[in-house]
A = this chain, B = another copy of it.
């Protein structure tokens, strides 16, 4: 049995580059950018009027002029006008090009307009005010968004501005999610007394959807021949297999055995953690196999703790670890890393983690009350005190 740290290390040593694809920029939120996005021209691309008002030549204001004849109007979206008489003014609109011979903008609020004449009503203005100068934010050729950024709505506007209607992103692995366990029936079925409905595969589908990874699902019966035959074809057709169940010590937990028989190299089996201990991990040249234990909380936490970081590192993303403050003492006897379900709240800029009183790894419903797992390290003391800080894995 290896530790959580060892398991993470092995998994992150075995990431895989799935290549790059080009997709429409509006579909790219949540995907990982695989090119630097560069300014195609200066930002702003011209001396841009930043307030509705009048544009003047500051010199004349300085000379004491307060009445400026309105020579013309420069709307946004029009070619640059030239003010012929430098002692005149131009009405200018936010977003417009600053007219030639103007160097200062005074907003309408500080001006009275009488048909052809603008009178400035204030005595203090600054030369160059209310102008967003060409290249002030960024210069042509500057990198605006770095490769390996996870694209969010704030990147979408930048992509649009530089004309990236298509954008290069990390290709997603092709994933098959497989449940096993003869006690499982479909969601639409009425289970017999000894049966329960399938749920883990759907949880996994939606956890992968959060990463924008589509997946297929199948259910296999706990029969060795069936497993052998189906898994052989899955190993050929998919980049990643996620299993839920059949990795423990049961008489029908054939999965590790079958996987090894089919030539899947075992990376490890069993991690010193609760929940999620019987996790089996392996790979072939073309396929990674994450075989999670079948208890709902085990599957859930292992997907977050192992699959998520594996995918992010495969795609080139550096994740920022998070921490939270325990609000209660927790004692935990077994010499295992304890992924404890917690409710997260923020107060005064601090993130607090309050343990959820779940009934163990089978207690699916407790996840509804939790926002994440706090990771309490494997230690012999196993007394974790209120106020101590530990890593936290949020899922909400």
Bound CA span A215–B374, Å:
37
**B contact residues around A158 at 8 Å (CB):** 199, 364-365, 367-368
A381 at the interface (CB under 8 A from B): no
Q: A370's closest neighbor in chain B, by CB?
A: B154
**Which of the 9-residue segments A137-145, A309-317, A332-340 touches chain B?**
A137-145
Distance (whole angstroms) from the CB of A33 to the closest CB of chain B: 10
- Report yes or no: A93 in contact with B251, Cβ–Cβ below 8 A: yes
Q: Enumerate chain B residues within 8 angstroms of A346, measured Cβ to Cβ.
A: 320-323, 351
Interface size class on chain A is: 35 or more
Of A46, A77, A359, chain B has the most CB atoms within 10 Å of the CB of A77
Q: Are A202 and B156 in contact (CB under 8 A)?
A: yes
Q: Does A282 contact B (CB under 8 A)?
A: no
Q: Give the number of times this chain occurs in the complex, counting copies.
A: 2
A320 near B345 with CB under 8 A, answer yes
CA distance A207 to B151 in the complex (A): 12
By secondary structure, the A interface counts as loop
Distance of A325 Cα from B181 Cα, bound (Å): 49
The B-contacting residues of A in range 30-59, CB under 8 angstroms, are 39, 43-46, 48, 50, 52-53
Complex Cα distance, B253 from A96, in Å, reads 13
Stretch in contact with the other chain, from A183-191, A257-265, A283-291: A183-191
Instruction: Return the 9 tightest CB-CB contacts between A and B, nearest first.
Output: A77-B182, A77-B183, A325-B349, A154-B367, A52-B250, A160-B199, A153-B206, A93-B250, A157-B203
Known contacts A52-B250, A155-B367, then 9 further A-B pairs from the complex at CB < 8 Å, ordered by chain A residue? A29-B209, A75-B250, A79-B193, A95-B245, A96-B183, A144-B365, A152-B396, A153-B203, A160-B199
